[in-house]
Structure 1
């Protein structure tokens, strides 16, 4: 099973150090969160820089909030990045839940799921080289992967899980093993119901911090600030894994559930965690 790293959002200047160390180690993928009204790197600009600084690891958005973006421009940006990165882009997509993100983007929060479905129809068409419509298009360049980069969807509600089978290649489960198994089963069942061949790619995510007490406290502080909007940031922070034993146990649990990859998501900014996590995996 592959193991990737979710990069910290708190120190953009260190991300190239993280990326180069991960590329030299055993990791498969580099992920990055997306928020608009927050001190986070832009989720397509940052992967473009990381792709240029690495040679083999995949670069993944985890998840990019597609409804906040213009569809045609998103299609072009993703195809360009996929092409220039040699097919290493994994486009994790979601709808988000923050009212302020949608407000500044001028997008109705209440219809964000419907908008994502409409966007996917256009994205798939454009990535296949078809015209945009109404005598306009096509919009290039062609992505490295025929039909577009690999698309994973995150989410928990039934509509989000069904979206994997309707439009995607796989599922991002930001949930502990105790909950991820049910989500995986639902995604697999929907995949079969929609007549898809093969199997969906299943990617799990777990929050980790590994190192001295200062590193762990930094991660907890950053997580608490990021999830304050939920009203239950303490619950999120309580799930942070901070020892080699608990991290290995989680990886094995996700493997037993059939996950293809586990993303070890870091909120502490110390890049030495890459080397510590490499010893764990």
Structure 2
């Protein structure tokens, strides 16, 4: 099972340092979350910057809220990032459930799932080099990035089989077991060969108590709910146990999502890996 890192958002200017440390270490992927009405760095711009600061590590949105964006431009941005990074970019996609994000983008919260389905249909056509419409030609580059879907409801996970290459799971490990099974079932129902790629996210902060406290504070600020911070992994023993359990569920990759902005987290976590 591969191990990736989710990047913190509290100090964006430190992210190139995180990226270079991770690129030199044992990690497979750098993930970055997405919001609109929040002071996080915009993920596509940020990951493009980090692509230039790294050599081999993959770059992944985790997850990008696609309905907030204009579809042809999103298709072009994702294809460009895949092309210029040497095919190291993974487009992790979700719909987003916060009313303020959709209000700022001018999208209908109640239609976000249908909007995403329409977006995926168009983006797949554009990535294959087809014209946009009768009145507009192809939109290059004709490059298809790897596509992963995140979500919690069966209808959302069904998109893995319809449009995607794999599934991004979050939440308790018991819940991941259920959503992994739904993703595998969607894959089979849509007649896809092989297996979907399965990724599980663990919120992590390893180090002194002050590091864990800072990470919990950042997580609570982001989610607005203290309960989310209760699932944070803060000790090596718990981290090793959860990684072993995640691997037993069939995960191909674990993303250790770091909420502490301290770049030393990269080295602390690297020292714990085989």
Given the alignment of the two structures, is residue 181 of structure 1 paired with residue 173 of structure 2, yes or no? no
Given the alignment of the two structures, is residue 108 of structure 1 paired with residue 111 of structure 2, yes or no? no
Deviation at 1:92, TM superposition (A): 0.3
In structure 2, the partner of 1:222 is 218
Count residues in correspondence: 273
Measured in 1, the distance between the counterparts of 2:222 and 2:125 equals: 35
Given the alignment of the two structures, is residue 262 of structure 1 paired with residue 254 of structure 2, yes or no? yes
| SS state at 2:55 partner | coil
- The Cα RMSD (Å) is 0.7
Contact 1:82 1:149 (C-alpha < 8 Å) held by counterparts: yes
Measured in 1, the distance between the counterparts of 2:248 and 2:135 equals: 50
Measured in 1, the distance between the counterparts of 2:92 and 2:172 equals: 19
Measured in 1, the distance between the counterparts of 2:202 and 2:189 equals: 29
In structure 2, the partner of 1:134 is 134
Deviation at 1:21, TM superposition (A): 0.2
Given the alignment of the two structures, is residue 150 of structure 1 paired with residue 142 of structure 2, yes or no? no
In structure 1, the partner of 2:227 is 235
Which residue of 166, 172, 182 maps to 1:170?
Answer: 166
Structure 1 segments (4+ residues) deviating >3 Å:
none
Measured in 2, the distance between the counterparts of 1:193 and 1:220 equals: 39
Measured in 2, the distance between the counterparts of 1:55 and 1:176 equals: 33
| Map 1:1-281 → 2, pairs under 5 A | 1-143=1-143, 148-228=144-224, 233-281=225-273
Give per-residue Cα distances to partners, 1:221-251, cap 9 Å, x unaligned.
00011110xxxx2221000000111111111
Contact 1:83 1:142 (C-alpha < 8 Å) held by counterparts: no
Which structure 1 segments of 5+ residues have no match? none
Name the TM-score, length of structure 1 as normaliser: 0.96
Deviation at 1:176, TM superposition (A): 2.1
Deviation at 1:166, TM superposition (A): 0.6
Measured in 1, the distance between the counterparts of 2:133 and 2:237 equals: 54
Give per-residue Cα distances to partners, 1:119-151, cap 9 Å, x unaligned.
0000000000000012312001122xxxx1010
